[in-house]
Protein backbone atom coordinates (compact mmCIF):
# COMPACT_ATOMS: atom_id res chain seq x y z
CA UNK A 1 0.00 0.00 0.00
CA UNK A 2 1.32 3.43 -0.91
CA UNK A 3 -1.31 5.68 0.68
CA UNK A 4 -3.32 5.38 3.88
CA UNK A 5 -6.39 6.97 2.28
CA UNK A 6 -7.39 9.53 -0.32
CA UNK A 7 -6.64 12.46 1.97
CA UNK A 8 -3.06 11.35 2.45
CA UNK A 9 -2.78 10.71 -1.29
CA UNK A 10 -3.97 14.26 -1.95
CA UNK A 11 -1.38 15.68 0.42
CA UNK A 12 1.34 13.72 -1.34
CA UNK A 13 0.08 14.80 -4.76
CA UNK A 14 -0.01 18.44 -3.70
CA UNK A 15 3.73 18.35 -3.07
CA UNK A 16 4.18 17.61 -6.77
CA UNK A 17 2.16 20.68 -7.71
CA UNK A 18 3.74 23.45 -5.65
CA UNK A 19 4.53 25.47 -8.80
CA UNK A 20 0.80 26.25 -8.98
CA UNK A 21 0.40 27.43 -5.38
CA UNK A 22 -1.11 30.84 -4.76
CA UNK A 23 -1.82 31.60 -8.42
CA UNK A 24 -5.05 33.39 -9.21
CA UNK A 25 -5.58 31.60 -12.51
CA UNK A 26 -5.61 28.07 -11.07
CA UNK A 27 -8.78 26.02 -10.66
CA UNK A 28 -8.83 22.49 -9.24
CA UNK A 29 -11.55 20.25 -10.67
CA UNK A 30 -12.28 16.84 -9.17
CA UNK A 31 -13.77 13.83 -10.90
CA UNK A 32 -16.38 12.60 -8.42
CA UNK A 33 -16.69 10.83 -6.32
CA UNK A 34 -13.31 9.33 -5.46
CA UNK A 35 -11.35 12.25 -6.83
CA UNK A 36 -12.96 14.76 -4.48
CA UNK A 37 -11.09 13.93 -1.22
CA UNK A 38 -7.83 13.93 -3.18
CA UNK A 39 -8.61 17.22 -4.91
CA UNK A 40 -9.72 18.81 -1.63
CA UNK A 41 -6.23 18.38 -0.22
CA UNK A 42 -4.63 19.61 -3.44
CA UNK A 43 -6.82 22.72 -3.55
CA UNK A 44 -6.21 23.47 0.11
CA UNK A 45 -2.45 23.17 -0.29
CA UNK A 46 -2.39 25.30 -3.46
CA UNK A 47 -4.85 27.84 -2.00
CA UNK A 48 -7.00 27.34 -5.08
CA UNK A 49 -10.76 27.00 -5.54
CA UNK A 50 -12.22 23.51 -5.83
CA UNK A 51 -15.11 22.37 -7.98
CA UNK A 52 -16.30 19.32 -9.89
CA UNK A 53 -16.06 18.12 -13.46
CA UNK A 54 -18.67 15.47 -14.04
CA UNK A 55 -18.39 13.00 -16.89
CA UNK A 56 -20.93 10.41 -17.96
CA UNK A 57 -20.01 7.76 -20.48
CA UNK A 58 -22.39 7.05 -23.36
CA UNK A 59 -22.43 3.28 -23.51
CA UNK A 60 -23.08 1.30 -26.67
CA UNK A 61 -26.60 -0.19 -26.51
CA UNK A 62 -26.28 -3.78 -25.31
CA UNK A 63 -22.63 -3.29 -24.37
CA UNK A 64 -22.70 -0.40 -21.93
CA UNK A 65 -19.04 -0.79 -20.93
CA UNK A 66 -17.96 0.18 -24.44
CA UNK A 67 -18.08 3.95 -24.85
CA UNK A 68 -19.46 5.55 -27.98
CA UNK A 69 -18.99 8.98 -26.43
CA UNK A 70 -19.43 10.99 -23.26
CA UNK A 71 -21.13 14.05 -21.86
CA UNK A 72 -19.60 16.33 -19.29
CA UNK A 73 -20.05 19.43 -17.16
CA UNK A 74 -20.69 22.55 -19.20
CA UNK A 75 -23.24 20.89 -21.52
CA UNK A 76 -20.43 19.28 -23.51
CA UNK A 77 -20.91 16.16 -25.65
CA UNK A 78 -18.24 14.19 -27.47
CA UNK A 79 -18.83 11.23 -29.76
CA UNK A 80 -16.52 8.44 -30.88
CA UNK A 81 -17.44 8.31 -34.55
CA UNK A 82 -15.20 5.30 -35.20
CA UNK A 83 -17.19 3.19 -32.75
CA UNK A 84 -20.52 4.58 -33.95
CA UNK A 85 -19.74 3.97 -37.61
CA UNK A 86 -18.17 0.53 -37.07
CA UNK A 87 -21.17 -0.71 -35.09
CA UNK A 88 -23.69 1.21 -37.21
CA UNK A 89 -25.33 2.72 -34.16
CA UNK A 90 -28.42 4.68 -35.21
CA UNK A 91 -28.72 8.36 -34.37
CA UNK A 92 -31.84 7.71 -32.32
CA UNK A 93 -29.92 5.36 -30.00
CA UNK A 94 -27.23 8.00 -29.53
CA UNK A 95 -29.80 10.66 -28.70
CA UNK A 96 -31.59 8.38 -26.24
CA UNK A 97 -28.37 7.50 -24.45
CA UNK A 98 -27.32 11.15 -24.34
CA UNK A 99 -30.69 12.26 -22.95
CA UNK A 100 -30.59 9.56 -20.27
CA UNK A 101 -27.05 10.37 -19.17
CA UNK A 102 -27.66 14.12 -19.39
CA UNK A 103 -30.47 13.67 -16.89
CA UNK A 104 -28.20 11.74 -14.54
CA UNK A 105 -25.45 14.32 -14.91
CA UNK A 106 -27.89 17.12 -14.11
CA UNK A 107 -29.12 15.19 -11.06
CA UNK A 108 -25.57 14.84 -9.78
CA UNK A 109 -24.81 18.48 -10.51
CA UNK A 110 -27.79 19.51 -8.36
CA UNK A 111 -26.94 16.99 -5.67
CA UNK A 112 -23.32 18.06 -5.33
CA UNK A 113 -23.32 21.72 -6.34
CA UNK A 114 -26.81 22.87 -5.34
CA UNK A 115 -27.50 26.40 -6.60
CA UNK A 116 -23.87 27.28 -7.22
CA UNK A 117 -23.13 27.89 -10.91
CA UNK A 118 -20.57 25.80 -12.74
CA UNK A 119 -17.12 27.39 -12.70
CA UNK A 120 -15.80 29.44 -15.59
CA UNK A 121 -12.78 27.62 -17.00
CA UNK A 122 -12.02 29.71 -20.09
CA UNK A 123 -8.49 31.08 -19.85
CA UNK A 124 -7.79 29.25 -16.56
CA UNK A 125 -5.12 26.74 -15.65
CA UNK A 126 -7.24 23.73 -14.75
CA UNK A 127 -5.89 20.88 -12.65
CA UNK A 128 -8.05 17.78 -13.18
CA UNK A 129 -7.77 15.39 -10.24
CA UNK A 130 -8.87 11.80 -9.70
CA UNK A 131 -7.79 9.15 -7.20
CA UNK A 132 -5.87 7.23 -9.86
CA UNK A 133 -5.59 6.20 -13.49
CA UNK A 134 -5.92 2.63 -14.69
CA UNK A 135 -7.05 2.66 -18.33
CA UNK A 136 -7.58 6.42 -18.22
CA UNK A 137 -10.78 6.31 -20.28
CA UNK A 138 -12.85 8.48 -17.94
CA UNK A 139 -10.08 11.05 -17.57
CA UNK A 140 -9.56 11.10 -21.33
CA UNK A 141 -13.24 11.89 -21.82
CA UNK A 142 -12.99 14.64 -19.20
CA UNK A 143 -9.96 16.18 -20.91
CA UNK A 144 -11.62 16.07 -24.32
CA UNK A 145 -14.76 17.72 -22.98
CA UNK A 146 -12.88 20.28 -20.91
CA UNK A 147 -10.77 21.38 -23.87
CA UNK A 148 -13.94 22.53 -25.64
CA UNK A 149 -14.41 25.09 -22.86
CA UNK A 150 -11.04 26.66 -23.76
CA UNK A 151 -8.95 26.63 -20.60
CA UNK A 152 -5.47 28.08 -20.99
CA UNK A 153 -3.78 24.95 -19.67
CA UNK A 154 -4.90 21.46 -18.65
CA UNK A 155 -2.97 19.57 -15.98
CA UNK A 156 -4.00 16.02 -15.07
CA UNK A 157 -2.90 15.06 -11.56
CA UNK A 158 -3.36 11.71 -9.81
CA UNK A 159 -1.69 10.01 -6.85
CA UNK A 160 -1.24 6.67 -8.62
CA UNK A 161 -1.34 5.49 -12.22
CA UNK A 162 -0.43 2.64 -14.48
CA UNK A 163 2.93 3.62 -16.00
CA UNK A 164 1.74 3.21 -19.59
CA UNK A 165 -1.38 5.28 -18.94
CA UNK A 166 0.64 8.06 -17.35
CA UNK A 167 2.92 8.08 -20.39
CA UNK A 168 -0.07 8.15 -22.74
CA UNK A 169 -1.36 11.37 -21.24
CA UNK A 170 1.94 13.17 -21.85
CA UNK A 171 0.82 13.58 -25.43
CA UNK A 172 -2.74 14.52 -24.52
CA UNK A 173 -2.51 17.33 -21.94
CA UNK A 174 -0.17 20.21 -21.15
CA UNK A 175 1.14 18.40 -18.07
CA UNK A 176 0.55 15.05 -16.40
CA UNK A 177 1.51 14.50 -12.77
CA UNK A 178 1.43 10.93 -11.46
CA UNK A 179 2.85 10.87 -7.93
CA UNK A 180 3.61 7.15 -8.12
CA UNK A 181 3.53 4.64 -10.96
CA UNK A 182 3.79 1.17 -9.41
CA UNK A 183 5.13 -1.61 -11.58
CA UNK A 184 3.34 -3.94 -11.93
CA UNK A 185 0.15 -1.90 -11.61
CA UNK A 186 -2.77 -4.03 -10.44
CA UNK A 187 -5.50 -1.46 -9.79
CA UNK A 188 -6.04 2.01 -8.38
CA UNK A 189 -7.41 0.52 -5.16
CA UNK A 190 -4.25 -1.52 -4.63
CA UNK A 191 -2.40 1.73 -3.94
CA UNK A 192 -4.60 2.51 -0.91
CA UNK A 193 -5.02 0.94 2.50
CA UNK A 194 -8.49 2.50 2.77
CA UNK A 195 -10.21 2.65 -0.62
CA UNK A 196 -13.76 2.72 0.70
CA UNK A 197 -16.35 4.44 -1.48
CA UNK A 198 -16.64 8.20 -1.13
CA UNK A 199 -20.24 9.08 -0.29
CA UNK A 200 -22.41 11.82 -1.74
CA UNK A 201 -22.51 13.44 1.70
CA UNK A 202 -18.71 13.54 1.83
CA UNK A 203 -18.57 15.14 -1.61
CA UNK A 204 -21.01 17.87 -0.57
CA UNK A 205 -19.22 18.46 2.72
CA UNK A 206 -15.78 18.82 1.11
CA UNK A 207 -17.09 21.18 -1.56
CA UNK A 208 -18.78 23.31 1.08
CA UNK A 209 -15.65 23.43 3.25
CA UNK A 210 -13.52 24.43 0.29
CA UNK A 211 -16.03 27.07 -0.81
CA UNK A 212 -16.09 28.61 2.65
CA UNK A 213 -12.31 28.85 2.72
CA UNK A 214 -12.42 30.90 -0.50
CA UNK A 215 -15.36 33.09 0.41
CA UNK A 216 -14.71 36.86 0.18
CA UNK A 217 -13.54 38.30 3.48
For residue 155, give the CATH number of its domain: 3.40.50.2020
Q: Please say if the pLDDT value at position 1 is more than 80.
A: no
Residues 117-139 have a mean pLDDT of: 91
Q: What is the mean pLDDT of the chain?
A: 91
Read off the pLDDT of residues 62-110 as tens digits, 9 standing for 90 and up: 888 778 888 887 778 888 898 899 999 999 999 999 999 999 888 888 8
* Number of independent structural domains in the chain: 1
Residues 137-162 have a mean pLDDT of: 93
Other beta carbons within 10 angstroms of residue 73's beta carbon come to: 23
Q: For residue 216, give its domain range.
A: 1-217
Residues 112-133 have a mean pLDDT of: 91
Amino acid sequence: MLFRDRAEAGQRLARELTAYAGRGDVLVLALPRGGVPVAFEVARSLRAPLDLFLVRKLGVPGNEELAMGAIASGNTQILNRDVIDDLRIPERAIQEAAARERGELARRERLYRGDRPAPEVRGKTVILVDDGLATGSTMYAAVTALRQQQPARIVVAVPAAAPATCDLFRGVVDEIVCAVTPEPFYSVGASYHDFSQTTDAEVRDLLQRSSQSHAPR
